[in-house]
Amino acid sequence: MSVNRYTLVLALLLSLAALPVVQPAAAVPDAQRISERTYRQLTRAHALMEKQRYDEALASLDQLRLRVAHRPHELALVLQTYGHLYATQEKHPQAIAALTECLALEALPKSATAHTLYVLAQLQVLVADYTAAVATFEQLFQLQRDPEPAALALAGAAYARVQRYPEAIEQLGRAIQRADQPEEHWYRQLLAVHYQFGHYTAAAGLLQQMIVLPEHHQ
């Protein structure tokens, strides 16, 4: 079962765009606060990335990483930004390494951890490391009780790639049920899994559903 690379790259770019630069605030726990200086340097690195001045952004992050090496939360944010920088340049192995190191610190708040796990899983699918992607999705789903349909669908595709067909069927089915407008290729992926698993009756029923899909899904 194939994974639509163009769709995945677009989804990854949208996920990266949603990565926030955390602002220093008195309301957050001490362990999750960042200094004004670190905030300014992170903001500058993101601004350089938006201007596609990637070498300058990398140099800025390298300097910042040395300075915050003993502050886990700030270091996690720097590593997260490295992941963003490398992924934007399609340096996927480097992005995966940076985000893996970021998550290993266990220093991000829950929402940021969930978002980072999702970006990491997308990258692992892009490099066809489906076993790692499945493990990352399982971490994400333990943390996030109501994941977005797109995450469920991509997890389903990864499960199918490692021949864990029952889980693939479950996640793709959940994605279709939860989405207001399910993607047509999710149906095709689910159909392929049913065939691979020998669920011919279910496949036939799904084909009938696909025949009457709204025109914008065709």
* Same domain assignment for residues 183 and 202: yes
Among 119, 139, 159, the domain-final residue is 139
> Cα separation of 1 and 21, whole Å?
36
pLDDT at residue 210, as a whole number: 83
* Same domain assignment for residues 17 and 121: yes
pLDDT at residue 203, as a whole number: 82
* Same domain assignment for residues 115 and 184: no
> Cα separation of 115 and 136, whole Å?
11
For the chain, strand residue ranges (E) read none
Q: What is the pTM of this model?
A: 0.86
Number of structural domains in the chain: 2
User: 42, 64 in Cβ contact below 8 A?
Assistant: yes
* Same domain assignment for residues 134 and 153: no
* Same domain assignment for residues 128 and 168: no
User: 165, 196 in Cβ contact below 8 A?
Assistant: yes
Burial class of residue 175 (count of CB atoms within 10 Å of its CB; 0-12, 13-18, 19+): buried
N residues, the chain: 218
Tokens describing residue 213: 């899909």
Which residues span the domain enclosing 215? 146-218
* Same domain assignment for residues 134 and 152: no
pLDDT in tens, the chain (218 residues): 456 555 566 566 666 655 555 554 444 555 567 899 999 999 999 999 999 999 999 999 999 999 999 999 999 999 999 999 999 999 999 999 999 999 999 999 999 999 999 999 999 999 999 999 999 999 999 999 889 999 999 999 999 999 999 999 999 999 999 999 889 889 999 999 988 888 878 888 888 888 777 654 54
Residue 153 is part of a domain; what is its CATH number? 1.25.40
pLDDT at residue 190, as a whole number: 92
* Same domain assignment for residues 150 and 135: no
pLDDT at residue 119, as a whole number: 95
Among 108, 139, 170, the domain-final residue is 139
Among 81, 108, 139, the domain-final residue is 139
> Cα separation of 160 and 192, whole Å?
9
Question: What DSSP element (H or E) covers 182?
Answer: none
* Same domain assignment for residues 125 and 60: yes
| Average pLDDT taken over every residue of the chain | 87
* Same domain assignment for residues 183 and 80: no
**What are the counts of helices (DSSP H) followed by strands (DSSP E) for the chain?**
11, 0
For 198: left if phi > 0, alpha if psi spans -120 to 50, otherwise beta; the answer is left
Task: Calculate the alpha carbon distances from 18 to 81, 112, 128, 141, 217 in Å.
Answer: 12, 10, 24, 19, 26
pLDDT at residue 208, as a whole number: 83
> Cα separation of 87 and 173, whole Å?
29
| DSSP sequence for 94-120 | HHHHHHHHHHHTT-S-HHHHHHHHHHH
* Same domain assignment for residues 21 and 104: yes
pLDDT in tens, 12-45: 666 665 555 555 444 455 556 789 999 999 999 9
Task: Provide the 8-state DSSP code for 70.
Answer: T
> Cα separation of 108 and 178, whole Å?
28
* Same domain assignment for residues 57 and 158: no
Tokens describing residue 153: 């669908």
* Same domain assignment for residues 135 and 154: no
pLDDT at residue 199, as a whole number: 82
Residue 124 is part of a domain; what is its CATH number? 1.25.40.10
